[in-house]
Each structure stands twice: as structure tokens, then as C-alpha cells.
Amino acid sequence: MKRTRFLSAGAIGLLVSLAGCKSDNVHITGPKGQEAFAKYVSLGTSVSMGYMNEGVYYATQQTAWPALLAHQAFAPSFTEPLLQGPGCYSPIIPPISLGPKRLSGASYPTIAASDQICALIANTQLPTNNVAVDGATTYHALRVTPESTVTTPTTIDSDQRKRLYKAILASGKTQVTSMMAQNPTLVSVELGANEALRAVTSGILIPAAAYRQPDNTYTFYPTSVWQPQYDAIVDSITKTGAKALLLSVPLIPNIVGVYPGDDFYRDSAAFASFGITVSSDCNGSTNSIFAFSKVLTALATPKPNTFSCTDNPSAADFILTPSDTAFVNGLIRAMNTHIAAEAQSHGWAYLELNTALADFIARKTHFSLSTFLTCNRPFGQYIGLDGVHPTLDGQQAIANAAADALNTQYGFEIPKNVRPVLSPAQLCP
């Protein structure tokens, strides 16, 4: 019996099972475009790696969108540098009211000894198809090897990054050179977010003059610094002859854990029950506040204390003014314009994540301290506890959007795997 190559989403699970069975009478083919996934390599950041709830390990890595996309396309093989539990670092266990606690048992943000092992599951062979690394900038993907992380000026989580690079990349290899060595047939590139993310999550706008600059001296990269590095990656992919999928960078409103100051004033009574006074400067405030860090800091500060929504431009107060937000979004739009132009000029697929993530924003509600503390998914179905990184459902939404982009550009017929929309009771059991 021969099965057709046109698969419905509902047939995927059945065919996966059948694919593991040997039979002379059964021949299973994948969707049109499957051949492009013969050697699919994913370059990227924490999103492509499978970082979730402030941590990463084998379970979250296997639900990263590149792995889900490869499964939907029936890739003959898609390997990952799977990290042993509890992770590197281990994720926070929901709900936040538990402490918050990491999977390792440590209280966030404490790091347990087991969080620092960063060992791969036995028999993992490098290089793998997914070479994305948490915290990677475009420069890192192009230039940084496990050895050079030791000498690259950095102060933020430097030891963890060194361990991650040694786990994910073979000696002497960068993400890009690892990709080229695998003679890829398809490459996805999800880079650029870390060039702007720290401005959003810290609330400070300090430009970097160059990539080899200590992390504590800047929070974003000007387009003029970023673009030559991105172009070099594009040139490297061109040399391989592979097809490619380039992803855009999310805008600040699409980072679900960012809320206007007025949301916190609306919830003043809930904060008061914890000895926190929400300042009157939050009333009507349109400043953007990164809730995860701002609220956890307030909860950890000796009581009573005051939650202010007034921005201090020189302090890491997790607040951006409307003009700050417009500046960072302008920076991101310039990056996305260039990424889209590169995809078009090379005949590659382009995924506008801000369109793909529109449903995340449409379901966003006002901030609630009770929801933040007690719900398994306080930021909704698609974004995890840290307010930035996708859940399994969010990763699946990106994988489906990636399939659409490839289907449109290359005439593939990769099916979607549509997950059900969860009710509020399921988000907050």
C-alpha cells in the first residue's frame, strides 16, 4: 500500500508511528519539500534553541520550532545537542508562587551546582542540525567558537555561555562554520533579537560601538554595527547553495511580558497585600514596563516598598518611555527591512514574525499580579514565565508560520500542526 505525499495535520501522528515500522508492503512519502530537509541546519538564538521559562534542557529543546518544523516536513534526520537535566540553567517551575523554584531545586535566580554541568545526553555527536545558542548575537553566530568565548569580553552569564558553546559547537567551529561543514540543503536564520533585547528588558538605551565590547557597557547595537555581520552570514549561506529561511526580529509590543504602567496602577490592591505601594505616577502611565523583572524585584525588596513607573534613563529600572520604545522599534524595523530585502534578493523564504505573532498580542490581557503568581502560563498560551520565550504552543505557531513561508516561496506543501486554543481555566488550573 502506498500513501500519498499530501498529508493532513491529523495524519502526521499516524505516519510518524508507521514510519518506525518496517514493511515491504508499506511505502510512506512525506510532503512536497521534504527533500530540502535532507540536511537542514538552524542558526539562531535562545528561541531556536528551545529556551523556555528562563532555562533550557532536552525536553524544551525538542519542542523548539526548528525541530517541530523538521518533524512536520518528515526530515529524514534532525539532530540537536540535547542537554541533560535539570538544564543549563534549569527552567523555572510554574507557577511563580512556588518560590519561584528552578527544576534543579534552586530558588530563582540562584544557580545550583547541577545547573552548571551543561553536559550532553550520552552518544550525542557534534555537529548537530540545530546549532542555535542562547544569547547569541549575529556576531556570535558568525565569529565565536567554544574557545573564543573564553576571551570574548563579557560579564553577563559568561560562565554559562562558555559551557553552552562547548556543549553545542565542535572545537574551533562557530554556528556558521558548523553549518557550512554540514553541506546544508536548507538553512534557517533567526538572529538579531539579542541586538535589541537588553534595551527592552533593562530599560536603558546605550549603543554598542562594536561587538567586542563588555556586556555591561551597552544595551543595543546600531544597525550600522549589525548589518555587516548579517551580510557575512548571508554570503556564507550563498556559498553552500542551500535554500534558506530568514526570520525577522519581534517588535517590543510583541514581547508579551511588557505592559503599560497604568496596568500596575489598576492592580494596586493586589500589590498592597504584599506590602508594595504602586505609585501614583503609574496612574495613566504609558511607559512600557518589563513585568517579569520589575515585579520580581519589587517582591524581593524589603517591605514596605514603592513600585514606581517613572523612568530613570541611567538605571536598569525595566522601564522604557514611549519615545524609547519608538526608538527601539525603529531600530528593529530597520533590521527587518534589511533581512526581508536579503531574502528577496536571494530568492529565499522570509518569515515576518511580527505577523506570525499577532495572535499572541490579540490574546494579551491587562497585567494581573494574581495571574502572574498563580497561573502556569501567566502571559498566556504562547509565552512562558519569563514573558519573552515561547511555550510549546508558541513554538508550534512559529513552526507553522515557517512552513507557510517555505510553502509560499518554494512551492512546498509542508502541513501545519494546529494546537487547540486553551481556555483561561487551562492556563490557570
> Which string of DSSP letters, residue by residue, matches 247-268?
E----GGGSTTEEEHHHHHHTH
Residue 185: band (very low, low, confident or very high) from pLDDT cuts 50, 70, 90: very high
Count: domains in the chain: 2
Q: Compute the distance between CA of residue 65 and CA of residue 42 in angstroms, rounded to an integer.
A: 10
**Percentage of residues in the chain having pLDDT higher than 70:** 92
Give yes or no: residues 142 and 83 share one domain: yes
CA distances 307 to 200, 303, 370, Å, are: 18, 11, 16
Distance between CA atoms of residues 117 and 251, nearest Å: 34
Query: What sign does the CA torsion over 133, 135, 141, 146 have?
Result: negative
Mean pLDDT calculated for residue range 175-179: 98
Domain residues for the domain of 5 are 1-30
pLDDT of residue 212: 83
In a domain, 299, yes or no: no
Residues 6 and 113 in one domain: no
Single out the residue of 428, 429, 425, 413 nearest to residue 12, CA to CA. Answer: 413
Looking at residue 1, its pLDDT comes to 37
Specify the DSSP class assigned to residue 195.
G
The per-residue DSSP string of 353-413 comes to HHHHTHHHHHT-----HHHHHH-SSTT-SSB-TTSSSB-HHHHHHHHHHHHHHHHHHH---
Q: Is the pLDDT of residue 152 over 80?
A: no
The position carrying cell 550532553 is 120
Q: Is there a single domain that holds both residue 127 and residue 186?
A: yes
Query: Do 219 and 346 belong together in one domain?
Result: yes
**Average pLDDT rounded to a whole number, residues 246-274:** 95
Q: Is 266 exposed, middle or buried (0-12, 13-18, 19+ CB in 10 A)?
A: middle
pLDDT digits (tens, 9 = 90+) for 23-77: 344 445 789 999 999 999 999 999 999 999 999 999 999 999 999 999 999 999 9
Over residues 215-241, the mean pLDDT reads: 95
In a domain, residue 389? The reply is: yes
Answer yes or no: do 23 and 103 share one domain. no
pTM reported for the whole predicted model: 0.92
> Residue 155: what pLDDT?
53
Q: What is the pLDDT of residue 178?
A: 98
Residue 302 lies in a domain: no
Distance CA 428, CA 263 (A): 20
Instruction: State the amino acid at position 333 in one-letter form.
Output: R
Question: Quick one: pLDDT at residue 6?
Answer: 35
Calculate the average pLDDT of the chain: 90
Q: What is the pLDDT of residue 429?
A: 80
Local structure of residue 320 (DSSP, 8 states): E
Residues 366, 408, single domain; the answer is yes
